[in-house]
Amino acid sequence: MRVRFAFYGRVSTEDQQDPEASRNWQIARARALSERHGEIVAEFFDVGQSRSIPWKRRPQAALLLDALKNPQRGFEAMVIGEPQRAFYGNQYGLTFPVFVHYNVQLWVPEVGGMIDPDSEAHDLVMSVFGGMSKGERTRIKIRVRSAMAAQAQVEGRYLGGRPPYGYRVVNAGPHPNPAKAAEGKRLKRLDPDPVTTPVVQRIFHEYLMGAGIYALAQRLTSEGIPSPSAYDSDRNKHRCGLAWSKSAIRTILRNPRYTGYQVWNKQRKQESLIDVEDVALGHRTALAWNPREEWIFSDQQVHPALVNQEIFQEVQLRLGSQGPTSTGRTLRTQHHYALKGLMICAACGRRMQGNWNHGRAHYRCRFPNEYAVGNKIDHPLTVYVRENAVLDPLDTWLAQAFAPHRIEQSLAALEHAQPDDAPAVEAARRTIAECERKLARHRAALEAGADPALVVAWIHQVQQQRTVAEARLATLTSHHSTNRRISRDDIHAMVNTLGGLLNTLRHADPADKAEVYRELGVRLTYDHTEHTVLAETRPTSSVCVVFVSEGGLEPPPPL
């Protein structure tokens, strides 16, 4: 009996390989192993996925695992081109039992055929390959980091990234690696930017003369000098570039590269567990700052300095003297805000910050929050609203909205707001049924002598469509089971419970209030020109809306 195989392979950007070339040699090895026993009828190949990512988080590997659950999957075995590409660390031990459970064979070239689930030798060999894969990745990381550290410290080489504001990247000659030089690659170095260099020098000078960080940001903005993100917008598409920020001024003042020395290893890619209770989910990678003692400085000055060492050190001393410990101030006490994250500024649409002032909770919006004031923005410097001016009218309105005499209106609104997933579920089931009919026709065409390569491509496309539809159906049915449509009796009980609960809000702790407000989907929009708060609540959808006066007046009847 001819065996139908599914092929799995992987290539990542870390390998610096052409994905097509990598796929070709991996599937060639897989075919060399499987062609005497059958043919490859399905293909799953991940591009740009690190080997350290678990199978469930690799797109194509996840599709393969989902296909195993389907009795009509169209293949009885899976073949890989190289175990180090497929499995990393303990991934084999976590994945192979799934293949055994669904009675799908796993074929590996290094084993010479099918892996025997009961063979201790096979299990040991595959575990060794997983360890080798992890060791290879770790070895590459160590070599690359060691080489980059030496290049930064000994050679002072510019290793890429966005140039600091005040510098531009210029050509520094051919690459010392002959192969890279033959490809036309060249070294780069930092050179003063004639437009922004005077701005950097001015920031250092005026800060030493006593100007504060916020005052510097406001002054530069009011003079129309583009901020770093506005001046180099191509490299800062993630920033608005509206005005100079305090963080931009502080970053410039703390950057030692302005003294002419190259600095590397200020940040690192840090891997942390996604879920400590489920290690199999793997890690997430995020940039994190390294301690200053781990930064790598060049031994010599390697680019023109914008400020000398003496000025830079004086600036660092002043920056270090601004904290609360240096001035004898104590750190602020943490306060709880009942409306935390719920108050929106109508002028700019941003969330207002909690602010403790004169022993009371306030919410404020400073425009921009971390930025200096721009000339063309119609927004007050600071917008304030007192918490206690909003809480009593808000609690009164919520209690009224769910009061017994309004029970029918609340019932109708809540019942109408519940989503109906039935049409989407039916559409997903129709798609799966149509895919099954297409697969049956394709198999019949294959048995009738049609071109195998063409039919396999058709089958692969239909299988992907079916997998997407099955995933959609699973999501909808799971959502339906956990979020069933509530009957009017259930809603009636819920509203009665809410009515009793909301009547106790007036005397609740701020932290408890905040939790109740979030559960109710409360959203408050403060209009500083009218001194009113627009209050909305959406347990599942909008129930009603009311205007509340900041002055503490009783609210009008809910609309």
pLDDT of residue 333: 66
Give the tokens for residue 268: 């690192």
pLDDT of residue 425: 79
Cα separation, 306 vs 190, in Å, equals 11
| Inter-residue contact 83 to 126 (CB < 8 Å) | yes
pLDDT at 27 over 80: yes
pLDDT in tens, 5-19: 999 999 986 556 788
Cα separation, 133 vs 15, in Å, equals 12
Which option is the CATH number for 3-138: 3.40.30.10, 3.40.50.1390, 3.30.460.80, 2.60.120.590? 3.40.50.1390
Instruction: Count Cβ neighbours within 10 Å for each residue of 387-424 and write b for 16 or more, e otherwise.
Output: bebbbebbbbbbbbbbeeebeeebbebbeeeeeebeeb
253 vs 472, which has greater pLDDT? 253
pLDDT in tens, 142-180: 998 899 999 999 988 898 888 999 999 998 888 888 888
| DSSP H or E stretch at residue 270 | strand 267-273
Cα separation, 539 vs 518, in Å, equals 9
pLDDT at 543 over 60: no
Cα separation, 97 vs 484, in Å, equals 34
Cα separation, 123 vs 110, in Å, equals 12
Cα separation, 29 vs 354, in Å, equals 62
Average pLDDT of span 72-83: 92
Task: Count other C-beta atoms under 10 Å from residue 525's C-beta.
Answer: 16
pLDDT in tens, 293-304: 899 999 999 999
Confidence of residue 377 (pLDDT cuts 50, 70, 90): low
pLDDT at 477 over 60: yes
| Inter-residue contact 534 to 393 (CB < 8 Å) | no
Average pLDDT of the chain? Answer: 81
List the domain boundaries for the chain: 3-138, 167-262+298-324, 334-418+486-559, 422-482
What three-state secondary structure class fits 336?
Answer: coil
Cα separation, 464 vs 520, in Å, equals 40
Cα separation, 360 vs 385, in Å, equals 11
Mean pLDDT: which of 82-86, 240-244, 447-451 is highest? 82-86
Q: Which of 38, 43, 262 is nearest to 164 (CA)?
A: 262
Cα separation, 35 vs 529, in Å, equals 77
What single-letter amino acid sits at 177? N
pLDDT in tens, 399-436: 776 665 665 565 555 555 555 667 777 888 888 888 88
What single-letter amino acid sits at 444? A
- Any idea which residue has 């302005």 for tokens? 258
Among 25-39, 364-378, 384-398, 449-463, whose mean pLDDT is lowest? 364-378
pLDDT in tens, 457-475: 777 778 777 877 776 777 6
- The full DSSP string for 459-526 is HHHHHHHHHHHHHHHHHHHHHHHHSPPPPHHHHHHHHHHHHHHHTTGGGS-HHHHHHHHHHHTEEEEE
Q: Which CATH class is domain 167-262+298-324?
A: alpha beta
CA angle 491, 495, 498 (to 5 degrees): 140
Average pLDDT of span 501-522: 72
User: Whats the size of the chain, residue-wise?
Assistant: 559
